Amino acid sequence: MSVLLPEDPTPIAKVPSTENKTGGWRTFRPVIHYEKCIRCYICWKFCPDAAIYFASPEAHAAPKEALSKFDTVEINYDFCKGCGICANECPAKAIELVLEESAEGDEE
């Protein structure tokens, strides 16, 4: 008995899930207040969506001169689902959750 194989026998998932913009799920939008941010990267560490990324130190003003050489963090609103873990864990209370409707237009 011969075995029939499809032409491309190994179905490999090739499309990265970054095609899938989960930002639309969001109810509350986390907004970073950079004048309070101490650049500890705890928000980056605990983000379940890996939606927080690093930006250059000059991108945002630092609260103190000593912090100005460290990288800043930014939130990718295409993927942030608005769970609020970053705001809850932030030791400096620099992240505020804003209702999505009222935040619309502030960032874009």
Rule CB under 8 A: which residues touch other proteins?
A: 11, 13-22, 25, 39, 41, 45-46, 48-51, 54, 57, 69-71, 76, 78-79, 81-85, 87-89, 97
User: Least distance in Å: CB of 2 to other proteins?
Assistant: 25
User: Least distance in Å: CB of 4 to other proteins?
Assistant: 21
- Taking alpha carbons only, the member of 53, 44, 45, 43 closest to residue 78 is 53
* Torsion 21-55-93-61 (CA) sign: negative
Residue 83 to residue 36: CA distance in whole angstroms = 21
User: Least distance in Å: CB of 49 to other proteins?
Assistant: 5
User: Least distance in Å: CB of 39 to other proteins?
Assistant: 8
Give residue 79's identity as a one-letter amino acid code: F
CB of 11 or CB of 105, closer to other proteins: 11
Residue with tokens 């209702």: 99
| Strand 52-55 to 72-75 pairing | antiparallel
CB of 22 or CB of 33, closer to other proteins: 22
